[in-house]
Structure 1
Amino acid sequence: MGVWELLLVGVVILLGLSGVLVPGAPGSWLVWAAVLWWALDDPQALSWAVLVGATGVLLLAQAVRWALPPRRLRESGATPRMAVYAGTGALLGFLLLPVIGAIPGFLAGIYLYERLRLGGHGQAKAALRTVMRAGGWSVLTEFFACLLILGAWCGAVIWG
């Protein structure tokens, strides 16, 4: 697979990651489709293993999401700008503290947004709790699954 094709797959994965943060967008399935495209274009054992792993991770994430309360983020005051803060925090956390750093990064992104918006620690903490109860855990589950897939794909491309 050529460099440009790999870059396109990476761009589609990043679009899928941002799609997870947008209500109604098929972000996680876009991430999966990008990995499928890569595996079909570069049919090796490693690429197929990443595709199988991505499928398993996404199915598990969907099962966990069905067990969580339904998303009511708009009612909690969540905005697209908050989604950008949360996603950026999760991505930075994922890079700084591989894999598990995405969870505190996601929470820190929402907290930072609320702290800047509301001004106080107590108010930001209460708003963070409200957002997470209103469906933030569902978004975090799906986003974390997609970050795991991104990490596996990057590892396979770099070291494979």
Structure 2
Amino acid sequence: MDTGLTVLVGIVIFVGIVGIVVPILPGAILSLAAILVWALLDRSATAWIVLAAAVVLIGASQVVKYVVPERRLRDSGVPRRSMIVGVLLGIVGFFVIPVVGMFVGFPLGVYLSEAQRLRTHAEAWTSTKHALKATGLSILIEFIGTSLAAAVWLIAVLFLV
């Protein structure tokens, strides 16, 4: 396979990983799509094995990133409704305040929903901190899964193909 195309695939994988941390792009999907394109162009057995490993790693991280934080939120008493309000306000914030609006809107939405539900600042703030920790954990899980898939791809490119 052409070196230029391999470098381009690597750049797209990297942009996907950045998109996980700065959630503007669908990072894991972008990285997986880049590995898929690489496998389709390379057509070697190694490429298909790398693609299969990437699907497993990214797929597992997509499942775990919802299951583990959801369980922690449920255990801490934060209702799903507050998370939905946070996400909706985060989306609005994304368009109202470019770049940082999502990071302002999400916690504000969770806090407002929890303040309405719990009626005290202290309890609402505690719930908001639980929601932020769960969101951070979700991002970390997706980041690890996609980074592992990228590492498998990089090892294959450097040493096997």
Q: Structure 2-normalised TM-score?
A: 0.60
Q: What runs of 5+ residues in structure 2 fail to find an aligned partner?
A: 71-79, 91-98, 104-128
**Structure 1: runs of 5+ lacking an equivalent:** 84-128
**Sequence identity (%):** 34
Q: SS of the counterpart of 1:7?
A: helix
State how 1:52-91 maps to structure 2 within 5 Å. 52-67=52-67, 68-69=69-70
Cα-Cα RMSD: 2.7
List, as ranges, runs of 4+ consecutive aligned residues in structure 1 with deviation greater than 6 Å.
Answer: none
In 2, distance between residues paired with 1:23 and 1:14?
14
Distance 2:2 2:145 in 1: 26
Q: Which residue type is aligned with residue 41 of structure 2?
A: D
Matched length? 111
Greater helix share, structure number: 2
Q: Give a deviation string over 1:33-77, Cα, whole Å, max 9, x none.
A: 0000000000111110010111111111111112123776998xx
* Aligned-partner residue type, residue 159 of structure 2: W
Q: Distance in 2 between matches of 1:44 and 1:11?
A: 21
Q: Secondary structure at the match of 1:25?
A: coil
The equivalences for 1:119-158 within 5 A come to 133-158=133-158
In the alignment, the residues of structure 1 paired with residue 60 and residue 23 of structure 2 have an alpha-carbon distance, to the nearest angstrom, of 20
Partner of 1:115: none
TM-score, length of structure 1 as denominator length: 0.61
* Structure with bigger gyration radius: 2
- What residue number does 1:2 align with? 2
Query: How many angstroms apart in 1 are the aligned matches of 2:54 and 2:38?
Result: 12
